[in-house]
Amino acid sequence: EDQVTQSPEALRLQEGESSSLNCSYTVSGLRGLFWYRQDPGKGPEFLFTLYSAGEEKEKERLKATLTKKESFLHITAPKPEDSATYLCAVQEGDQGATNKLIFGTGTLLAVQP
């Protein structure tokens, strides 16, 4: 069964303390892996799409990487405004025609000043 697992469930960091969030997945064929940021009571905001192992993308303090079994979202020198829930989703090969995504349960990040 296709599955997406995110860890940790929650992470508390001090401002400036770098860390990584993990997204492990099991799908029969990966078409794409997506990272989203979600603030309380709002819809998810697109961050990155990764397509193949070895690919990396960066945006401000965030860097996403992809291997054949997992993806990492690295947060460098985080600020309090980076506090949010970070969601990972995968698009499985057979679902390519429907573009259906399978979501993890998210990592709740809290950055304290």
Partner 1 sequence: DGGITQSPKYLFRKEGQNVTLSCEQNLNHDAMYWYRQDPGQGLRLIYYSQIVNDFQKGDIAEGYSVSREKKESFPLTVTSAQKNPTAFYLCASIGEIPGSYGYTFGSGTRLTVV
Residue 90 tokens, joined: 């995968």
Q: Which is nearer to partner 1, 44 or 78 (CB)?
A: 44
Q: Which is nearer to partner 1, 14 or 87 (CB)?
A: 87
Residue 96 C-beta-side C-alpha neighbours within 13 Å: 8
Give the residues lining the site for partner 1 (CB under 8 A): 4, 32, 34, 36, 41-46, 48-49, 87, 89, 98-106
Distance CA 102, CA 113 (A): 34
Report in angstroms how near the CB of residue 15 gets to partner 1 at its nearest. Answer: 27
